[in-house]
Structure 1
């Protein structure tokens, strides 16, 4: 991201895509979420730039989902294999969003371009990276007090977004549960 190495990032992301979603055909129709279904759940206002909804959505790095799938690949986790054990709405939502992102070359390439070249969300993306590194360090130190402190500091960063995110998350979980 900071090195602006789009080709290197694309290679790593596409390798993760192949490993995690190899059983799902590229350019597939996602089984849990559709493009329209995903686009209706946007924090911070409409994902469309016009009131008619005809303009392209604003680019989003989807950094959290790039990271989740990258981690799944490196841990040899096949999320679809775990559906029998964890068919909760939350797990379906995570898989569904990741699947929708990774099964669309257009959407995946837009996310990669955004994470590398679009600085609009860079400060949020960097906060995500710092938080992920912090969580990793807290866990490696094995300190519950440190984990609690890090959690509270992370929560304060997102506090202004909780109400909107909770409402949208509840709507999304309801829609997924009904699908």
Structure 2
């Protein structure tokens, strides 16, 4: 996401369509990663065979879902998205979600636009994440004991999307009918494939070069993003504890 935003010369918290709800978590995850050292993520990605497999599948999921969107293949897209969601998320309703609406809107780096100005998004990055888990046979809840705060945030927003039937239906409609995010999705698809190739080749120098160029672009907002991200992580961890106790 950071690579795509930088390629489009965007600071997403300054664009109304990227402020509020799920978008807040996407932005904070991105900035939290880029505020750290490149070698932390390069090591996790390149030196772990399981990570290489997941990254490769994620890039493939992004590409295949984007092609379905471009081609207007609604039935195939909906069938694939809902099959993946059913394999990963077993809960009914949204009462016990790790992230709730008031939490998502509270942690914003930008000014929230009026509800009537909210721009619908197809959330390709999140659809692809669940598709990736499904394709590889991963149920993320089985791995929570060793999960990182960033993983919990990522799980929280994918769970939020897939366990709200109305929102998921809106996302599928948007993916087929709305071109607002097409340029962003194109850059995101390029980015996912490029990162996957750098990881598959074990290219540490290439990883560092790419990471640090994006890091430099977003650096001015790191202090604020770190503060907001810490608060968001604290909230989701409290919700996880409550969930485990019930």
TM-score range, shorter chain: 0.7 to 0.9
Corresponding residue for residue 94 of structure 1: 154
Alignment of 1:1-179 (within 5 A): 1-21=69-89, 23-25=90-92, 27-42=93-108, 44-46=110-112, 48-50=113-115, 55=116, 57-86=118-147, 88-155=148-215, 165-179=225-239
Distance of 1:29 and 1:44 partners within structure 2: 27
Distance in 1 separating the partners of 2:232 and 2:176:
28
Per-residue CA distance 1:48-103 (angstroms, 9 max, x = gap) = 525xxxx48431222221111111111111111111222x4322211111111100
**CA apart distance, 1:121:** 2.4
Structure whose residues are more often helix by fraction: 2
Helix, strand or coil at the partner of 1:130: helix
Secondary structure class of the residue paired with 1:18: helix
Gap regions ≥5 residues in structure 2: 1-68, 240-246
Q: Distance in 1 between matches of 2:188 and 2:204?
A: 21
Q: Number of aligned pairs? A: 171
Compute the RMSD of aligned alpha carbons: 2.6
Q: 2 CA distance for matches of 1:149 and 1:59? A: 33
> For 2:206, what is the secondary structure of its paired residue?
helix
TM (norm. structure 1) is 0.79
- Greater RCO between the two (CA within 8 Å, min separation 6)? 2
Residues 44, 148 of structure 1: CA spacing in aligned structure 2 closer, same or farther, 3 A cutoff? same
